Amino acid sequence: MVHEAQGLDAYFLPPKIALPSLEISGGLRVAGAADMPLVREWIEDFYKETLHTKPPDTFSREDELTARQTDTDARIPEHPLLFVWGDGASVAMGMLAPSEKSSRINLIYVAPEFRGRGYGRAVVAALSQKARESGRVPILYASRGNTAAIRLYKSLGFTRLKNGGKNEDNPA
């Protein structure tokens, strides 16, 4: 698997695992055009911190990010959307990219000054709930060295995929 070669492991949230109710202020919303300068900055920081590289060109230009967000043609349910968690100000983000049976959660990022307050957990839980509401299994990838992210995902019930993705609890 290409992700394994990059030092990434896949995780999924088994259907039998209930998501916790979280006591955290703010809420998740689709990122809009006004969010794109901050989202672009966060994407660059995400790639630097987690993958030690620059983001792909598709994430480098605000106009392209805005176009991706607004091109949500109902005939394309697989269209990935960026979300922002706001609590007065935008404090965190994540992306949900649906496919036929699963929705990939990606680009989880919390602004440094807001880390350790539960926002990352809230974003992952809210995006997982959105995936489930659409009948898809939430999946995500984590760098093997990103122990904080792996702890967070496991605390929500995510399980590492084994055997090339053939876990018995994974219908995706």
Residue 166 falls within a domain, yes or no?
A: no
pLDDT of residue 82: 83
Residue 65 falls within a domain, yes or no?
A: yes
CA distance 25 to 4: 36
Rg (CA), the chain: 15
Taken as a whole, the chain contains a residue count of: 172
Q: Exposed (0-12), middle (13-18) or buried (19+): which is 142, by Cβ within 10 Å?
A: buried
CA distance 83 to 30: 4
The CATH code of the domain that includes 151 is 3.40.630.30
Residue 165 falls within a domain, yes or no?
A: no
Residue 138 falls within a domain, yes or no?
A: yes
CA distance 104 to 99: 8
pLDDT of residue 1: 42
Q: What is the pLDDT of residues 116-156, one digit of tens each?
A: 999 999 999 999 999 999 999 999 999 888 899 999 999 99
Residue 74 pLDDT greater than 70, yes or no: no
Q: What count of other Cβ atoms lies within 10 Å of the Cβ of residue 158? A: 23
Q: What is the pLDDT of residues 7-40, one digit of tens each?
A: 889 999 999 999 988 888 999 988 888 888 898 8
Number of H helices, E strands in the chain: 5, 7
Residue 151 falls within a domain, yes or no?
A: yes
Residue 167 falls within a domain, yes or no?
A: no
Q: Give me the domain span that covers residue 9.
A: 2-160
| Two tokens, residue 130 | 């959105």
Work out how many domains the chain is built from and give that number.
Answer: 1
| Two tokens, residue 68 | 């991706």
pTM: 0.84
Residue 73 pLDDT greater than 50, yes or no: no
Question: Which residues face 29 on adjacent strands?
Answer: 84
Residue 144 falls within a domain, yes or no?
A: yes
Question: Which position has the higher pLDDT, 90 or 58?
Answer: 90
Q: Which amino acid is at 41?
A: E
DSSP 21: P
Residue 20 falls within a domain, yes or no?
A: yes
